[in-house]
Structure 1
Amino acid sequence: MRILPVAVASVALVLVQPGLAGAASDPSTTVTFTVTSGALSMSVPVSSTLGSGAPGTQVSAPLGPVTVTDDRALLSASWSVTVSETDFANGPSTVPATRATYTVGSVTTTGVITATPTNVTLSNSPQVVVTGSAGVGDNTATWDPTISVALPAGAVGGTYTGTLTHSVA
């Protein structure tokens, strides 16, 4: 019977003694990490053929997918895509760039970005065709624009070539 009171006394002693239980401070660890960020980039088709047509008619075709990739991992990202077109040339004969239109069509996005399209009549000067706003983190926007050229009634037969330049900033 004496064993029981001794055990109770030692438990009471532990609870009464300061510093023996619960006195150690809670240790903490600082944890850090880095979110990597990339660049703002764009991919476009290398070439496109609009087909053929007689003078006074129109040629038109989808260009192929244009994609803006924003890997800058920003909190409030924005960007603008501009296009410009050289005059279409066939030897000494030309069709002015202003006879062509760029119709954006629908824009598909991934991630968080608001993409706003604007259809334009092309020219030698850059014009905004798609803007991205309110982007958060990494995101993309893709569209397949249609290029149409109104052929002049006096167009000389042959293959005409021009350069469509896309830029993103």
Structure 2
Amino acid sequence: MRSRILSAAAAVVAATCLYATSAAAREGAETVPEQQLMLSISVPGSANLGSAAPGGTLTAQLGTVRVADTRGGQARNWTVSVTSEGFTSGEHTIESSAVRYWSGPATASNGAGPFNPGQPNAASAVALNSRRTAFSRAGGIGNNAVSWVPSLWIEIPETAAAGTYTGTVTHSVL
């Protein structure tokens, strides 16, 4: 009996090994006066998500994502979105619809909230085949920051070819 194995790294699936890379994008650029008033996001570089056989599932954490808002003063809202284009290995693809994401709760926060996870637990995981809300803040005045450790759940297709798959999970804040 032959078995195929897939592995993943930082949001990547490979025969059956997955690797994923994180990307951060800052949307809505604005002019900033001398004192740096900023809305920023930091994400982990890359992660090895492990491996799974075709037809199996792979669950892994991406690492800490952090948003810091130093725009202060008045009430400032922000939303972090997340998306992925799936994982590839040569000509083979694990579609983004097979990649589910959940933010989990805040692991650290400071300043006025409330801070709202898009998916507080695994039961609320969403497919990354379109832009999804990962975390948000509505209301509150003053500087603030929040961190969380998102998880991915990847369904490996029965037809997946063995190999190392890589992909990017992009977080952006606006």
TM-score, length of structure 2 as denominator length? 0.73
Shift in Å, 1:115? 1.0
* Residue 130 of structure 2 is aligned to residue 125 of structure 1: yes
Aligned residue in 1 for 2:84: 85
Partner residue of 2:158? 153
Q: Please report how far the alpha carbon of residue 37 of structure 1 lies from its aligned counterpart in structure 2 after TM superposition.
A: 5.2
1:63 is aligned to 2:66: no
Q: Which has the higher strand share?
A: 2
CA contact (8 A) 1:90 1:161 kept: yes
Say yes or no: does 1:167 pair with 2:172.
yes
The structure with more helix, counted as a fraction of residues: 1
Unaligned runs of 5+ in 1: 1-35
One-letter code aligned to 2:164 = T
Structure 2 unaligned residues grouped into runs of 5+ = 1-34, 120-124
The alpha carbon displacement at 1:135 in A equals 2.6
Match of 1:143 in 2: 148
- One-letter amino acid of the counterpart of residue 123, structure 1: L
Counterpart CA distance in 1 for 2:136 and 2:73 is 16
**1:138-165 deviations in Å (ceiling 9; x for gaps):** 1101100111101011110001111111
The separation in 1 between residues aligned to 2:142 and 2:115, in whole angstroms, is: 15
Give the secondary structure class of the aligned counterpart of 2:166: coil
**2:113 and 2:137 in contact (8 A); partners too:** yes
* Paired residue secondary structure (2:167): coil
| Aligned counterparts of 1:144 and 1:112: Cα–Cα separation in 2 | 20
Number of aligned positions between the proteins: 134
Q: Shift of the alpha carbon at 1:122? A: 3.2
Q: Conserved in 1, the CA contact under 8 Å of 2:42 and 2:65?
A: yes
Q: Which has the larger radius of gyration?
A: 1
String of CA shifts for 1:34-89, please: whole Å, max 9, x gaps. xx551000000011111001011111111100000000013211100001101210
Name 2:109's counterpart in structure 1: 109
Residues 38 and 76 from structure 1, CA distance in 2 versus in 1: closer, same or farther, beyond 3 angstroms?
same
Deviation at 1:100, TM superposition (A): 1.0
Amino acid at match of 1:116: N
Percent of aligned positions with the same letter in both sequences? 36
Higher relative contact order (CA 8 A, sep 6+): 2
Runs of 4+ in 1 over 6 A off after TM superposition: none
